[in-house]
Structure 1
Amino acid sequence: MVEVKINDDVKVGGTNQCFIIAEVGQNHQGDIEIAKKLIKAAKDAGANCVKFQKTCLKEKFTKKYLERPYDNPNSWGKTYGDHKRHLEFSESQYRELFKYAHEVGILCTASAMDMVSFDFLVNMKAPFIKIGSGDSNNLLFLKYAASKKVPLIISTGMVDKTAVKTIYDIISAQHKNFCLLHCISAYPVPYEDCNLTVIQDYMNTFDIPIGYSGQEQGTAVALGAVALGAKVLEKHITLEKTMKGTDHVCSLTPTEFQQLVRDVRVIENALGTPIKKVVTSEIPCIDKLQKSLVMGCTKNKGEILYPGDVKIKVAEPKGLNALHFEEVIYKTLVYDKKEDEPLNSGDFC
Structure 2
Amino acid sequence: MASTAPLTSPAARTRHLGDRPVGPGHPVYITGEIGINHNGDLGTALALVDAAADAGCDAVKFQKRTPEVCTPRSQWELERDTPWGRMTYIDYRHRVEFGEDEYRRIDEHCRERGIAWFASPWDVESVAFLEKFDLPAHKVASASLTDDELLRTLRATGRTIVLSTGMSTPKQIRHAVEVLGSENIVLCHATSTYPARAAELNLRVIHTLQAEYPNVPIGYSGHETGLQTTLAAVALGAAFVERHITLDRAMWGSDQAASVEPGGLQRLVRDIRVVEESLGDGVKRVYESELAPMRKLRRVPGVVAQADERAERAERGEPAEEAAGARGSDRSDSAGDREPAAV
TM-score range, shorter chain: 0.7 to 0.9
Matching residue within 228, 237, 250 for 1:220: 228
Whether contact under 8 Å (1:129, 1:150) holds in the other structure is: yes
SS in 1 for 2:192: coil
CA drift at 1:179: 0.5
For each residue in 1:276-311, what CA deviation from the matched residue of structure 2 results, as whole angstroms up to 9, or x when unmatched? Answer: 11112222321221122xxxxxxxxxxxxxxxxxxx
Q: 1:5 — aligned with what?
A: 16
Match of residue 39 from structure 1 = 49
CA distance in 1, matches of 2:284, 2:64: 47
Give the C-alpha shift of residue 141 in structure 1: 1.3
Whether 2:306 is the aligned partner of 1:344: answer no
| Partners of 1:291 and 1:322 within 8 A in 2 | no
Q: Percent of counterpart pairs with the same letter?
A: 33
Alpha-carbon spacing, 1:276–1:217, altered in 2? closer, same or farther (3 Å): same
Q: Is 234-243 or 275-284 further displaced after alignment?
A: 275-284
Q: Distance in 1 between matches of 2:247 and 2:341?
A: 72
The farther-off stretch of 52-61 and 141-150 is 141-150
Deviations 1:165-223 (A, max 9, x none): 11111111xx6111010011110000000000000111111111110000000111110
Q: Distance in 2 between matches of 1:48 and 1:343?
A: 53
**Aligned 1:278-297 pairs, distance under 5 A:** 278-292=286-300
Counterpart-to-counterpart distance in 1, 2:146 and 2:117: 26
Residue number in structure 2 paired with 1:147: 156
Q: Using the alignment, how far apart are the partners of 1:348 and 1:247 within structure 2?
A: 77
Paired residues of 1:76 and 1:82 also in contact (CA < 8 A): no
Q: Deviations over 1:72-96 (max 9, x none)?
A: x778643322222211111211111
* RMSD between superposed Cα atoms in Å: 1.9
1:130 aligns with 2:139: yes
Equivalent position amino acid for 2:173 in 1: V
Q: Distance in 2 between matches of 1:40 and 1:147?
A: 32
Q: With structure 1 as the length reference, what TM-score do the two structures score?
A: 0.82
Alignment of 1:292-311 (within 5 A): 292=300
Letter matched to residue 148 of structure 1: T
Alignment partner, residue 50 of structure 1: 60
Cα-to-partner distance string for 1:96-139 (whole Å, 9 max, x where unaligned): 11111111111011111111111111221211111101101112
The Cα of 1:237 is off from its aligned counterpart by: 1.0
Structure ranking higher in helix proportion = 2
Query: CA–CA distance in 1 between the matches of 2:167 and 2:85?
Result: 26
Q: Which amino acid aligns with 2:184?
A: N
- Report the counterpart of residue 265 of structure 2 in structure 1: 257
| Aligned twin of 2:245 | 237
- Match of residue 176 from structure 1: 183
User: How many angstroms apart in 2 are the aligned matches of 1:348 and 1:198?
Assistant: 61
CA contact (8 A) 1:25 1:53 kept: yes
The AA in structure 1 aligned to 2:117 is C
Q: 8 Å contact 1:74–1:246 — kept in the other structure?
A: no
Name 2:102's counterpart in structure 1. Answer: 93
Point out the structure with max Rg over C-alpha: 1
Per the alignment, residue 335 of structure 1 pairs with none
| C-alpha distance in structure 2 between counterparts of 1:178 and 1:343, whole Å | 57
Measured after TM superposition, the shift of residue 348 of structure 1 is 7.8
State the one-letter code of the partner of 1:17. P
Deviates more, 1:195-204 or 1:141-150: 141-150
TM-score of the superposed pair, with normalisation by structure 2: 0.83
Amino acid in the other structure paired with 1:63: R
Find the aligned partners of 2:23 and 2:86 in 1 and give their Cα distance: 42
Distance in 2 of aligned mates of 1:230 and 1:75: 39
Question: Are 2:186 and 1:205 aligned?
Answer: no
1:120 aligns with 2:129: yes
| Structure 1 residue 163, shift from structure 2 partner | 0.9
Secondary structure (helix, strand or coil) at the match of 1:78 reads strand
* Cα deviation digits, residues 3-25 of structure 1 (max 9, x gap): 21222x21111311110000011
In structure 2, the CA distance between the partners of 1:267 and 1:115, relative to structure 1 (3 Å rule), is same
* Map of 1:268 onto structure 2: 276
> Which deviates more, 240-249 or 206-215?
240-249
Asked if the contact 1:17/1:231 (under 8 Å) is kept, the reply is yes
How far the C-alpha of 1:323 sits from its partner, in A, is: 5.2
Amino acid at match of 1:183: A
Q: Secondary structure at the match of 2:34?
A: strand
Distance 1:342 1:279 in 2: 22
1:298 is matched with none
- Report the Cα distance in structure 2 between the residues aligned to 1:76 and 1:141, rounded to whole angstroms: 33
Q: How many Å separate the matches in 1 of 2:219 and 2:52?
A: 19
Question: Residue 197 of structure 2 aligns with which residue?
Answer: 190
What are the ranges of 5 or more consecutive residues in structure 1 without an aligned counterpart?
Answer: 293-320, 325-340
Residue type matched to 1:103 in 2? E
Residue 342 of structure 1 deviates from its aligned partner by 4.4
Q: Secondary structure at the match of 2:13?
A: coil
* Aligned-partner residue type, residue 65 of structure 2: T
> Do the aligned residues in 2 keep the contact of 1:227 with 1:268 (CA within 8 Å)?
yes
SS at match of 2:54: helix
1:30 maps to 40
In 2: Cα distance, 1:156 partner to 1:119 partner? 23
